[in-house]
């Protein structure tokens, strides 16, 4: 059975994963509007990943006898200054998520909830991957420096991304 403090913190993070999904769907719309379907595809896959993160919390809370409590989701921004700016904001957002996951882990450890501590390791690893993926695209966008031809090639590259649900296994 989950302690109340842990249950509340897990629910907070579940709800926050919904915001992440919402943010990336908004970015997918922004890139679609810029006629960059590959960038939009990357964000749509990111949206699916965030939904899978939400569902992993959903399953875990229920498995431990807790109750899922949904909250309202804030409206995300709908436009950014440039593709680079959108990815910089993505990195900033993911760094905040990493901090939140670390705080959640601190709560589980303080409550000596070893099962939740173990469960959260998946998210700790996932955040390393998320930040690295976004940083890699930011580096490429900086190299491009406004070249439309290079942007077109990167768009084709990002169109290849496909969603793979890694939340059921042990590693991201």
Integer-rounded Cα Rg, in Å, for the chain is 17
- Residue 74's φ and ψ, nearest 5 degrees, are -65, 150
For residue 56, state whether it binds ligand FEO (rule: CB under 6 A).
no
Closer Cβ to ligand FEO, 7 or 17, answer by number: 17
User: Minimum Å distance from CB 50 to ligand FEO?
Assistant: 5
For 41, 80, 137, 163, the CA distances from 55, given in Å and listed in that order, are 21, 29, 27, 15
Q: Report how far residue 121's alpha carbon sits from residue 125's, in angstroms, rounded to the nearest whole number.
A: 6
Closer Cβ to ligand FEO, 7 or 126, answer by number: 126
- Those residues with Cβ within 8 angstroms of residue 82's Cβ, 6 or more apart along the chain or in another chain: none
List the one residue from 9, 10, 11, 17 that touches ligand FEO (CB under 6 A).
Answer: 17
User: Minimum Å distance from CB 88 to ligand FEO?
Assistant: 15
List the one residue from 10, 40, 53, 108 that touches ligand FEO (CB under 6 A).
Answer: 53
Hunting for tokens 């964000």 — which residue is that? 43
List the one residue from 97, 107, 137, 141 that touches ligand FEO (CB under 6 A).
Answer: 97
For residue 88, state whether it binds ligand FEO (rule: CB under 6 A).
no
For 122, 123, 144, the CA distances from 117, given in Å and listed in that order, are 10, 10, 41
For residue 86, state whether it binds ligand FEO (rule: CB under 6 A).
no
Q: Write out the binding residues for ligand FEO, residues 102-161 only, by CB under 6 A.
A: 130
List the one residue from 6, 18, 19, 20 that touches ligand FEO (CB under 6 A).
Answer: 20
Angle 37-63/114-144 helices, nearest 10 degrees?
A: 170
For residue 44, state whether it binds ligand FEO (rule: CB under 6 A).
no
Hunting for tokens 């959260």 — which residue is that? 120
Q: How many residues bind ligand FEO (CB under 6 A)?
A: 7
* Chain residues in the site for ligand FEO (CB under 6 A): 17, 20, 50, 53, 94, 97, 130
């Amino acid at each position: 059975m989950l302690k109340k403090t842990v249950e509340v913190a897990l629910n907070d993070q579940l709800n926050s994963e919904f915001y992440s999904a919402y943010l990336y769907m908004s970015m997918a719309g922004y890139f679609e509007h810029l006629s960059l379907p590959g960038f939009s595809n990357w964000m749509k896959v990111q949206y699916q990943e965030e939904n899978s993160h939400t569902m992993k919390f959903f399953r875990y809370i229920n498995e431990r006898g807790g109750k899922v409590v949904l909250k309202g989701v804030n409206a995300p921004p709908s436009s950014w200054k440039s593709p680079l700016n959108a990815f910089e904001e993505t990195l900033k957002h993911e760094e905040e998520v990493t901090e939140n996951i670390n705080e959640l882990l601190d709560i589980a450890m303080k409550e000596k909830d070893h099962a939740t501590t173990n469960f959260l390791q998946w998210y700790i690893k996932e955040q390393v991957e998320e930040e690295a993926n976004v940083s890699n695209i930011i580096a490429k966008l900086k190299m491009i420096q406004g070249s439309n031809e290079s942007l077109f090639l990167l768009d084709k590259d990002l169109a290849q991304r496909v969603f793979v649900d890694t939340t059921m296994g042990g590693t991201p």
